[in-house]
Structure 1
Amino acid sequence: MTRSAIYLDHNASAPLLPEARAAMLAALDLVGNPSSVHGHGRALRNLIETGRDQVARLAGAERKQVVFTGSATEAITQAIVGGAKALKVERIVISAGEHAAVGKAAEATGLPVVVVGLDADGVIRTDEIAVALQQDGIALVAVHAVNNETGVVQPLAKIEALVGPTPHYLFIDAVQALGKLDLDFAARPADMMALSAHKIGGPVGIGALLVKSHADTVRLIPGGGQEQGRRGGTESASLVAGFGAAAEAFAQHYDAALVAKLTFELMYRLRELNGDLVVFGEKAQRVGNVVDFAVPGLKNAVAMMGLDLMGISVSSGSACSSGKVGPSHVLAAMGVAPELSDCALRASLGWNSTEEDVSAFLSGFEQVLDRHRRRQGQAA
């Protein structure tokens, strides 16, 4: 990606950090299998264990709790599908705002799925979780820490207080929270947690599942005993090294205060361009890098096409729906009308976002708005 292009879609995938690139290239020069006991294998094993330490530190986990997977979706599926079997779970409790990976994994268990709602600000209704936990049988509660579309931070402490003292289990999708919130996995009541490398400037194709020792029997892919028997398949030392390097370097590149300042400026100036602008989840606590917004009447497909022609990349929400632009289930759960949801755009900033990026986006969006107004005038 050249700097002439404006990339404001970090929640979909962050650009590769230079440290991650360097670590991956160095690992690619090595040969062997990390499970081999000879010198070549031991060199690769050392890279993997170093990466495990680095990821564990960023997530506040113990190194032995980190299980590398092929993606965050795989980690989520291992936690939910594998967890349902290993932990003798009788039902799955999710929220209406979960990523599709969570919803699909819940369906794949074949167990009853209880879906709790979101309030108008996009916050999970903890009172509905409390009711769901009163039903007979062990439940696996699967919720996200930060919503990928709105950036809303979920009330994990309240949810953990409900689940923690009970026989039920709690899984947290922390994909959008890694590096932005203090996860402190080892100390919190959650039983499992999913992470992704490419959301923090690591490579695509690797994730991690954090697992407490009492849930260590959770499996999905059998194999030759890799990852202490918790996930089969030869580990990619290059991908693990990239994930680890990104985890270690992320804080050096991601200036949370600067990103929040740029995001607020973007939102403020958008309102100057159009007074009818709606920001979704605006009243809730949010991570400071996302603006999920809509201009009533301006369809997101039209706006995205116009911006893309100018070399500006934003999204309409989740990027994990086969590239389709369609209604958001998150906004629907918040009670947003379909005609407004069809206008939703998400701008998400990250480690290499600049003032110039924000200005270029606003200039481009102003042109899109001007064309929209002209079309409206012609239609009238």
Structure 2
Amino acid sequence: MRVCGIARQGAAKRRIGIVQTLDAGRMTQAAIYLDHNAAAPLLPEAREAMLAALELTGNPSSIHAHGRSLRHLIETARSRVAGVCGAVPAQVVFTASATEAITQAVCGSIKAFGVERLILSAGEHAATTKAAASTGVPLETIALDGEGRIELAALRQALALADEDGVTALVCVHSANNETGVVQPIGGINSLVGPTRHFLFVDAVQALGKQALDFAASAPDMMAVSGHKIGGIAGAAALLLKSHADTVRLIPGGGQEQGRRGGTEAVPAIAAFGAAAEAIEARFDLLRVSMLTKKLEAGIERLAPDTVIFGRGAERIGNTVAFAVPGVKNTVALMALDLAGVSISSGSACSSGKVGRSHVLDAMGVAPELSEGALRVSLGWSTTDDDIEGFLAAFSTVLSRRRKAA
């Protein structure tokens, strides 16, 4: 009995700890959130869809009524995701994350297409570069210009060399860079790869909801998108496949997703993804967000005229500002802003915990001492004018400390 009593006391303490952790989380959520490229706040429509799905019991692969109810939610979400991507529903394969979708595209292409060479831009997300490195297939990296755009002449040369060598290549590029917001010249890339016998994969994770996508009518053979970047929840993403790419597979499993991705689908996350896809166009007002971004940039430069905004001379998605102020270390700035209740990042959420140098900025030729001060502010559907004012006030304090230390 005494042992049981001790166990109950331990369980009670754990429950108290959980409640305290949840309370701390709620306090954090009340802060100014300007890290939408890492994850967008949950849309009300997505929350409602997720909760409705959680109320249902069953397996979507079952043929009884319970299973059919869940299957209906998945197919509704599939149609909604297809709609925002300019695709047809049959082209949408649900995965558990964008990293999985990217890995399926890269690794699955080796077997499905007989790919013998991978061609990547130097600014690709780590999910792509690490998937490519894991294949053992020869890899060619295409340089970026000083603004962060892929060098089209170098891509043309790489494709010509693949033709000379008689090998099939897979070209991997992102639509919009997650760190700088720089938009890649997808039209030019399409025109180079589309007419060839080579294949094209586009990482559209940051573009979804911010740029018009037209997968069905464009050159890419495959495209990856993710739910939590537009206001869904983590746990649902998608790989879009043209019909000739249906054999690009990674997880065989039990035949789900028409055999293209095994494993029981995470219906609540998928339903939230579908609801977010349907709602994002109305919720994400690009003109409003772009105006807030311009106000942010102007405010930063007013506070620090020597600010360097990365990719400023290129087309960028209208929600992202990547910048550095000479003499300000991003480690110091991030901690000070966090203490002030402002959440931003130093770059990719997959690596910013390390707060190291950005490979994207290195590829752009940014000086190391400037790259080490890089900060990224990314806005979204929930960003307000007060958020921008709050950030500028907090950043002003960071800069005042720099001036005092100088």
Pick from 89, 93, 108: which aligns with 1:63?
A: 89
Deviations 1:259-311 (A, max 9, x none): 00000000011111011000000000011101100000100000000000011
In structure 2, distance between residues paired with 1:176 and 1:80: 18
In structure 1, distance between residues paired with 2:382 and 2:268: 23
Partner of 1:271: 301
Deviations 1:57-86 (A, max 9, x none): 000001000000010000000000011221
Q: Pick the structure with greater CA Rg.
A: 2
User: How many aligned positions are there?
Assistant: 376
In structure 1, distance between residues paired with 2:352 and 2:365: 24
Counterparts of 1:163-202 in structure 2 under 5 Å? 163-202=193-232
Shift of 1:39: 0.3
1:102 is the counterpart of 2:128 = yes
Partner of 2:192: 162
Pick from 42, 61, 68: which aligns with 1:35?
A: 61
Partner of 1:300: 330
Partner of 1:373: 403
Partner of 2:31: 5
Counterparts of 1:65-104 in structure 2 under 5 Å? 65-104=91-130
Contact between 2:94 and 2:261, CA under 8 Å: does it hold in 1? yes
In structure 2, distance between residues paired with 1:313 and 1:236: 29
Listed as ranges, the gaps of 5+ residues in structure 1 are: none
Give the aligned residue type for 1:95.
S
The alignment partner of 1:209 has SS state of strand
The alignment partner of 2:377 has SS state of strand
Shift of 1:4: 3.7
Shift of 1:363: 0.1
Pick from 248, 266, 281: which aligns with 1:218?
A: 248
In structure 1, distance between residues paired with 2:61 and 2:343: 41
Pick from 244, 249, 265: which aligns with 2:274?
A: 244
Partner of 1:205: 235
1:253 is the counterpart of 2:299 = no
The alignment partner of 1:93 has SS state of strand
Contact between 2:345 and 2:352, CA under 8 Å: does it hold in 1? no
Partner of 1:340: 370
Deviations 1:304-343 (A, max 9, x none): 0000001100000001027210000000000001100001
Counterparts of 1:139-158 in structure 2 under 5 Å? 139-158=169-188
Partner of 1:50: 76
The alignment partner of 2:216 has SS state of helix
CA RMSD of aligned residues (A): 0.9
In structure 2, distance between residues paired with 1:218 and 1:181: 26
Give the aligned residue type for 2:45.
E
Counterparts of 1:347-358 in structure 2 under 5 Å? 347-358=377-388
The alignment partner of 2:277 has SS state of helix
More divergent stretch after superposition (291-300 vs 2-11): 2-11
In structure 2, distance between residues paired with 1:226 and 1:88: 24
The alignment partner of 2:389 has SS state of helix
Give the aligned residue type for 2:248.
V
Shift of 1:373: 1.1
The alignment partner of 1:61 has SS state of coil
In structure 2, distance between residues paired with 1:348 and 1:290: 4
Give the aligned residue type for 1:18.
P
Deviations 1:76-125 (A, max 9, x none): 00000011221100100001100000100111111000000000000011
In structure 1, distance between residues paired with 2:224 and 2:289: 24
In structure 2, distance between residues paired with 1:85 and 1:16: 37
Give the aligned residue type for 1:281.
G
Normalised TM-score (structure 1): 0.98
Partner of 1:20: 46
The alignment partner of 1:187 has SS state of coil
1:291 is the counterpart of 2:321 = yes
Shift of 1:141: 0.1
Give the aligned residue type for 1:90.
E
The structure carrying a bigger helix percent of its residues is 2
Partner of 2:292: 262
Normalised TM-score (structure 2): 0.92
